[in-house]
């Protein structure tokens, strides 16, 4: 358990995570880290099995603690279907000949993968009441330590409460070899945190929402470190991979500390996730979460800048003013990093902003603008700025072979 005393209304934050191991060759320590478990059910997909699962399986088998393994098809999505598959394969019924006996459950679920595998296993762990952990293969999102998972269910993307990982094992040399699109997605998910914390501050002032200064400061610090090193992402330096991984884990940890995704998800996530949902509604496979969130972050930044210039609301001016230097740093980062975009169509871009406001019950800049009759105007105006300033390549052009 990780605990933190605090001066906020919660006074005390804790999560059930026991070990966070971020190091070179971290997976070699898997049997030591999971020494208390003896019937481990390992879940991977074909890609993650190749890069890490095979080795983890071998180590667990040697230690006598592997129950069995399930390998899903490559790039398996966090869908109700895959949650169902993992659930159905969790037991080893074929070994039980007593038809009156209950199915023997594993005592631990180990997810080997990143966003999708992790979210799928978290859900199964929560429903079965079995602890789970993750051997992460790509620093592509902040869900490793999170308490919620967005899952695809019957044509909808729904955020469910799920288990928090007991163990997070990040092998830096494996993560450094992750597909470049996933590395970019990790940075995209991370740069939005400035917007998320600013939204949280605005809500604290305008709606009296609970706010934890310590958590907010931790997230801002991790974001700063990540923005600082990400310009060198292409080199896949272990120090860059470490900073991104640690930033994402810390952001997830803060979500769990807080009990909601408030410290890590504001305007940018509501817009980005709406674009994802629009894909799902049209029967398409949604784009990478972090890529959508990255693009939406630029929309959010430009709306904040516009409001800062035009408003005479003193409070808003002061709050936004504190974050302007951080927004400048993100803008500079984009000049070097060139995060690819997926939404270039004006109507789609604007619809994401308008519908994003009600993506979840959360007070953000979107609600502030809507209440003052300004949202539609701002959405249209920032589209031009965002495309002119931040767009370099379309995701599909940069990664033509990317599936899912
Ligand atoms: Zn606190
Ligand atoms: Zn995210």
Task: Tell me, in angstroms, the distance from the centre of ligand 2 to residue 46's CA.
Answer: 24
**For residue 146, what pLDDT band results from cuts at 50, 70 and 90?**
confident
- What is the chain's alpha carbon radius of gyration, rounded to the nearest angstrom? 21
Among the bound ligands, the one closest to the CA of 248: 2
pLDDT of residue 94: 58
pLDDT of residue 274: 96
20-52 residue pLDDT tens: 999 999 999 999 999 999 999 999 999 999 999
Task: Tell me, in angstroms, the distance from the centre of ligand 2 to residue 141's CA.
Answer: 6
Among the bound ligands, the one closest to the CA of 218: 1
Task: Tell me, in angstroms, the distance from the centre of ligand 2 to residue 28's CA.
Answer: 29
For a pLDDT cut of 90, what percent of the chain falls above it? 84
Task: Tell me, in angstroms, the distance from the centre of ligand 2 to residue 36's CA.
Answer: 31
Task: Tell me, in angstroms, the distance from the centre of ligand 1 to residue 139's CA.
Answer: 26
Please tell me whether residue 170 adopts helix, strand or coil conformation. strand
Task: Tell me, in angstroms, the distance from the centre of ligand 2 to residue 104's CA.
Answer: 35
| Model pTM score | 0.93
CA atoms within 13 A on the CB side of 2: 19
278-315 residue pLDDT tens: 998 998 888 999 999 999 999 999 999 999 999 999 99
What's 394's DSSP letter? B
| Cα distance between the two ends of the chain | 35
CA atoms within 13 A on the CB side of 356: 33
325-384 residue pLDDT tens: 999 999 999 999 999 999 999 999 999 999 999 998 999 999 999 999 999 999 999 999
Exposure class string for 7-45: b at 16+ Cβ within 10 A, else e:
ebeeeebebebeebbbeeebbeebbebbeebeebbbbbb
Task: Tell me the average pLDDT across 178-206.
Answer: 96
Among the bound ligands, the one closest to the CA of 6: 1
Mean pLDDT, the chain, rounded, equals: 94
pLDDT of residue 154: 87
pLDDT of residue 100: 72
Q: Measuring CA to CA, which residue among 9, 18, 17, 25 is closest to residue 252?
A: 17
Rounded to whole angstroms, how far apart are CA atoms 388 and 224?
25
Angle (CA) 292-22-213 rounded to 5° is 65
211-236 residue pLDDT tens: 999 999 999 999 999 999 999 999 99
Q: Is the pLDDT of residue 97 over 70?
A: no
Task: Tell me, in angstroms, the distance from the centre of ligand 2 to residue 325's CA.
Answer: 22
Among the bound ligands, the one closest to the CA of 8: 1
Among the bound ligands, the one closest to the CA of 273: 2
pLDDT of residue 403: 73
Residues around ligand 2, an ion, CB closer than 5 A: 189
Alpha-carbon distances, residue 360 vs 39, 53, 184, 225, 356 (angstroms): 38, 35, 26, 29, 8
Task: Tell me, in angstroms, the distance from the centre of ligand 1 to residue 394's CA.
Answer: 40
Task: Tell me, in angstroms, the distance from the centre of ligand 2 to residue 290's CA.
Answer: 6
């Amino acid at each position: 358990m990780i605990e933190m005393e605090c001066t906020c209304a919660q006074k005390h934050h804790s999560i059930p995570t026991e070990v966070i191991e971020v190091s070179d060759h971290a997976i070699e320590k898997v049997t030591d880290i999971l020494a208390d478990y003896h019937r481990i059910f390992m879940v991977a997909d074909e890609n993650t099995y190749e890069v890490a699962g095979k080795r983890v399986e071998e180590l667990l088998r040697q230690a006598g603690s592997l129950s069995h393994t399930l390998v899903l098809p490559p790039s398996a999505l966090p869908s109700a279907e895959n949650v169902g598959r993992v659930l159905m394969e969790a037991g080893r019924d074929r070994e039980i000949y007593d038809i009156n006996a209950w199915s023997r459950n594993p005592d631990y679920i180990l997810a080997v993968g990143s966003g999708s595998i992790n979210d799928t296993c978290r859900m199964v762990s929560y429903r079965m009441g079995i602890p789970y952990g993750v051997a992460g293969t790509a620093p592509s999102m902040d869900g490793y330590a999170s308490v919620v998972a967005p899952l695809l269910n019957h044509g909808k993307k729904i955020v469910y409460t799920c288990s928090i990982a007991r163990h997070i094992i990040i092998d830096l040399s494996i993560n450094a070899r992750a597909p470049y699109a996933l590395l970019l997605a990790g940075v995209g998910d991370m740069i939005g945190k400035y917007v998320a914390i600013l939204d949280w501050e605005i809500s604290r002032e305008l709606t009296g929402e609970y706010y934890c200064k310590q958590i907010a400061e931790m997230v801002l610090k991790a974001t700063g470190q990540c923005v600082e090193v990400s310009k060198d992402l292409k080199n896949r330096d272990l120090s860059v991979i470490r900073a991104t991984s640690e930033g994402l884990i810390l952001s997830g940890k803060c979500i769990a500390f807080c009990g909601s995704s408030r410290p890590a998800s504001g305007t940018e996530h509501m817009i980005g996730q709406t674009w994802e949902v629009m894909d799902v509604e049209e029967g398409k496979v949604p784009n990478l979460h972090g890529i959508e969130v990255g693009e939406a972050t630029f929309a959010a930044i430009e709306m904040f800048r516009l409001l800062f210039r035009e408003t005479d609301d003193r409070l808003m001016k002061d709050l936004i003013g504190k974050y302007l230097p951080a927004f400048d740093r993100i803008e500079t980062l984009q000049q070097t990093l060139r995060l690819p975009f997926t939404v270039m169509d004006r109507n789609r871009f604007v619809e994401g902003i308008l519908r994003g406001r009600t993506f979840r019950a959360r007070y953000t800049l979107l609600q502030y603008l809507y209440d003052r009759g300004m949202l539609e105007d701002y959405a249209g105006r920032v589209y031009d700025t965002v495309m002119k300033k931040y767009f370099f390549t379309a995701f599909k052009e940069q990664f033509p072979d990317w599936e899912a």
